[in-house]
Chains A and B, each alone.
Chain A
Amino acid sequence: MTFPSPLPAELAVLLTDDDAAPFWEMTRQRRLCFQQCSDCGTFRQPPGPLCPNCRSRATTWTETPGAGTVFTFTTVVHPVHPAVVDFVPYLVALIEFPDVPGIRLVSNLVEVEPGAVSIGMSVEVAWDEMSDEVVIPRFRPAA
């Protein structure tokens, strides 16, 4: 299912490198995966070449169903770039996942009014196809 994107495709042009590329390759398949150390199990975000806990280079991409909670959020009212003038206000939030401990994902909250958002609320992933190349994970209140 698709919904009107809260933000312009102009923002979703990726500069990605070899470490981060798998994240975006998997979001194209509507799979949310995070980099996890194959040796000690520590997750890391943003992606990088080494586990900061045990310095192993062995890496797994571990999929999560994307059921998370809101750690904090802001309603962006002032457009800091001309590209978003027609898109304010929009909600930016940090999402934590119980099955992916130790990391957070910057994302957006959609299908919800700012006044109805609270820290700790349960959310689920809502895929947003910006182009053939780029699919962005955003979040809506959990059903």
Chain B
Amino acid sequence: MSLRDKTCIVGIGTTPFFRRGGSGTRTEIDLMCEATLNAVADAGLSVDDIDGFSFYHNGFDAGRLSSVLGIPELRWSSVVSGGGGGSQGAIANAAAAVAAGYADVVLCVKALKATGPGGRRIGRPRLRDQREPAGGPDLDFNYPFGLMSPGQSFAMMARRHMHQYGTTTRQFGEVAVTTRLHASRNPAALHRTPITLADHDASRVIADPLRLLDFCLETEGGTALIVTSAERARSLRQTPVHIRAAAQGGSGAWGQGIYTHQMPGDEYTSSGHRPLAARLYSAAGLGPEDIDVAEMYDHFSPLVIMQLEDYGFCAVGEGGPFVEDGGTRWDTGRLPVNTHGGNLSEVYLLGFTHTIEAVRQLRGTSTSQVQDAEVALVTSGPGVNPTSALILRR
């Protein structure tokens, strides 16, 4: 059974984007509701039409959200396990629920606060009495050694990629510079001042070889998307964006990835997306040559390079030269990547901003519009299992 083109993303919405602490005393559910109302209005629907919720990253209490929003009847709700790797998986699950007839109009929603009510700083370690059972005793093999944040783990993967393939920190810098260039064209982006390779090289080292400008932003806000059937989408306000195909998961041996570092063989220097790429292209009946624009989860700059390799836009080990040659620039690149400014420069809200930008590209309304964009790839957080990805088409 195939989900190909059976469902569409028909509405997108966000709150304003805030730097850490910028959303003040506003609650997480307040941010979710604002993004939801904007997505519903964008779609030309009413909140009364929503009958399903799709979450990821620990989700949110569906009963509370349905009562606060005034949903007449909740017919389906689900959460993808894990962290930011589940963002596109939540949209995939929404598509599956609509195709299965469990729900007609599914709200995919996520808000993130680093401070205040419901706030938590992503990547901030919590020592023993604050650790979650899910992390469990396995963190005994990290914390006593001071390995306590994703950035430190990705630094070790980046170092190994440099060793194996000759990748350079200058190439990491090129990812940061290109992404900022795209953000400079996006009025909603939080960091819009263009940067140079020299700026990247002068930014402080956080965990060698990674510098401050290789890290995503620490920000706050809400994001929402509405998924319904392709049939219903035809009568709605926006150009329908079809969910062509979806994939979730990763190699079993990937395990807890950046937490346990037991990724097998050459997968250590990958984003973990390689097995998904094969399934995704097969389900879509498309290949890398058909992708017009890619919005790739960029919590750390080297992971863009690894995803370019894993999704077959270049050979494994050639991702560094690909970006250094300007391959990801919106106007002249072979494959424009993160045309909104990504997690590195626009905002970091754990994944849906990439989907929202892909929808804009396929509607023709991006601030860095790729001419005649028809097919987009969107990916979720690499390094964990499950991660997930979508191919969308106009």
Contacts and interface: CB of A to CB of B under 8 A. Distances in A.
Interface of A: 6-7, 10-17, 19-20, 24, 45-46, 52, 71-78, 80-81, 83-84, 87, 90, 92-94, 103-108, 114, 119, 130, 134, 136, 138
B159 A17 contact: no
Contact of B205 (A17, A77, A107): A77
Interface stretch (B112-120, B147-155, B349-357, B358-366): B147-155
A92 B153 CA distance: 9
B160 A72 contact: yes
Interface stretch (B136-144, B184-192, B318-326): B136-144
Contact of A11 (B136, B146, B151, B205): B146
A77 B208 contact: yes
Contacts of A72: 156-157, 159-160, 163, 268
Nearest to A75: B208
A90 B142 CA distance: 14
Nearest to B135: A15
A73 B127 contact: no
B204 interface: yes
Contacts of B253: 52
B159 A106 contact: no
Contact of B144 (A81, A87, A136): A136
B157 A78 contact: no
10 contacts: A7-B144, A13-B128, A15-B140, A20-B137, A46-B260, A71-B160, A73-B156, A80-B148, A81-B148, A92-B146
A46 to B, nearest CB: 5
A9 B342 CA distance: 38
Interface of B: 123-125, 127-128, 131, 136-149, 151-152, 155-157, 159-160, 163, 204-210, 252-253, 260-262, 268
Question: Interface centre among B124, B125, B127, B137, by most A CB within 10 Å?
Answer: B137
Residue in A16, A45, A78, A83 with the greatest tally of chain B CB atoms within 10 Å = A78
Given A15-B131, A16-B140, A106-B142, 10 more contacts: A6-B146, A11-B143, A16-B137, A24-B140, A46-B138, A74-B210, A76-B146, A87-B146, A90-B146, A104-B261
Given A11-B127, A72-B160, A72-B163, A105 B204 contact: no
B201 to A, nearest CB: 15
Contacts of B163: 72, 119
A11 B131 CA distance: 12
A20 B155 contact: no
B204 A77 contact: yes
Contact of B125 (A15, A81, A92, A107): A81
B149 A80 contact: yes
Contacts of A80: 123-125, 148-149, 151-152
Contact of A81 (B127, B156, B159): B127
A8 B99 CA distance: 54
B256 to A, nearest CB: 8
A76 B152 contact: yes
Nearest to A18: B137
Given A16-B140, A94-B156, A76 B207 contact: yes
Nearest to B143: A11
A94 to B, nearest CB: 5
A21 to B, nearest CB: 9
B152 A106 contact: no
Contact of A92 (B156, B205, B262): B156
A72 B125 CA distance: 22
A80 to B, nearest CB: 4
A11 B140 CA distance: 9
A81 B268 CA distance: 26
Contacts of A13: 127-128
Contact of A74 (B124, B125, B142, B155): B155
A45 B146 CA distance: 18
A114 to B, nearest CB: 7
Contacts of B137: 14-17, 19-20, 46
A18 to B, nearest CB: 9
Contacts of B141: 20, 45-46, 105-106
Contacts of B268: 71-72
Contacts of A14: 137, 140, 144
A16 B146 CA distance: 17
Contacts of B123: 80
B315 to A, nearest CB: 21
B261 A94 contact: yes
Given A72-B163, A104-B261, A20 B146 contact: no
